[in-house]
Amino acid sequence: MYISIAALVLTVAFVIWSTGPKKLNPFFALSLAALGVGLLTGMPLSELAEQLKAGFGNTLGKVGVLIILGTTLGGILEKTGATIRMAEYLIHKVSKKNAPLGIALTGYIIGFPVFCDSGFIVLNGLNHSIVRTTSWTMAVMATTLATSLYAVHCLVPPHPGITAAIETIGADFGTIMLMGALLSIPAAAVGLFYARWKGKRVADDYVPPIDTAQEQSQLPPTWLSFLPILLPISLIACGSFAQLFSVELQHFPKLAQWLLFVGDPNIALSAGILVALFLVKRADRKKLPGWLTQGVEKAGVIVAIIGAGGMYGQLLQHSGIGHDIGTLLGGTSLGIFLPFLITAFLKSAQGSSTVAVITGASLVAPMLGNLGLEHPLGLSLTILSLGAGSMCVSHMNDSYFWVVSRFSGISATATLKVFTTATLLMGLITQLLIWAIWIMAS
């Protein structure tokens, strides 16, 4: 057991050190960590090679296409101006007096298909416009937008970290999507309320830039802008419905087959992309192949990291390290808090939410029996607890922190006081809600 613990500590420390201070790409860090686990535990070299291939291939076989489709859909919505149209519609509905609420709703909805950093950059111009024409400060608006996007990014598939955790832990995609979408509402609300309270009290040194807002006439229709997001969510919900009522649907086999087919996440996201193609204007049709290529290229980096995380998880499980650690920690009564604490530590130490969740899922998966979390609800709550931990905290070693600071034009000090503290509160409140669900279900 001592060799197993030493191998775990050394490889986790290596991932933190190499991806944090040394800025090594997480693909290489996780790949080397997986190799290190095999070598340190004395695994035969031929078996080690096979396990590395199995971990990489099995993981990508389940989530690779999903990540590519989700990234591509988000890219099309950005390029066509659909994200801006949705944002302006929501802010118009709540009025500029309640602009933080409007931008929070915008971040929540747009966060489903668009990564948090991309979404923030795209919507950043809208924040500048609001600050110029209202009394709201940039610290309030930037934190509100950043935290609403961040809540969805950490808790809702098909975002990469939580999607990889679903594959590693094993749970229903639709269930996690529904529960994650619901939990991300109070998480985003925490960010909104804290931003409104603290943001007004912090000097953010904001200097308004020149207005570069996109012309209204260039934006797509509102209903068509929302449709590529709402359609996949609805289809995935249909698939979950068919699984939940599988017994009742035995009398309607054709209907059950169709619901399960369209509810498959890959099919649902493909349908969203097909609908999103109607957003492309005639003048931009020649650009479409380039946009699709950019989506695949952006996803390629993420897919590679997830595959490497799969290798690391495979080696942890196959070597018996996870079982040894589970036996050691099983009596600590941490239960559902253990996944949260592991991921929060990894996130704070090395900066990437995706790497934190992937690594945390690999560590927690073999412990589920000892923690009493092997039942379906326990698996779902474990994955969401990993997502909650990946929020805590976004600070100076996180690239998203610098996106928020630099694109908003506020100082790092102000970003730490408002945004970073908000991410800590978001993670803690979300974890307490998860714990409450676990207690009520026990």
* pLDDT bucket at 213, cuts 50 / 70 / 90: very low
Residues 6+ positions from 283 with CB-CB distance below 8 Å = none
Q: How confident is the model at residue 212 (pLDDT cuts 50, 70, 90)?
A: very low
Query: What pLDDT was estimated at residue 138?
Result: 93
The Cα–Cα gap between 423 and 420 comes to 5
Single pTM value for the model: 0.81
- Per mean pLDDT, which of 225-229, 302-306, 368-372 is the most reliable? 225-229
Q: Could you give the CA distance from residue 406 to residue 402 in angstroms, rounded to a whole number?
A: 6
Integer angstrom CA distances of residue 254 from 152, 225, 250, 251, 257? 34, 32, 9, 9, 5
Cα–Cα distance between 385 and 366 in angstroms, integer? 16
Q: DSSP secondary structure string, 351-378?
A: --HHHHHHHHHHHHGGGHHHHT--SHHH
In total, the chain counts a number of residues equal to 442
Q: For the chain, what is the radius of gyration of the CA atoms?
A: 22
pLDDT in tens, 131-156: 887 889 999 999 999 999 999 999 99
pLDDT in tens, 328-351: 665 556 789 999 999 998 898 778
Which range of 51-65, 269-283, 341-355 scores highest in mean pLDDT? It is 269-283
Dig out the tokens for 131 from the structure: 């600050």
> Residue 61's pLDDT is what?
86
The mean pLDDT of 38-50, rounded to a whole number, is 92
Mean pLDDT over the full length of the chain? 88
Per-residue model confidence as pLDDT tens digits over 182-196:
999 999 999 999 999
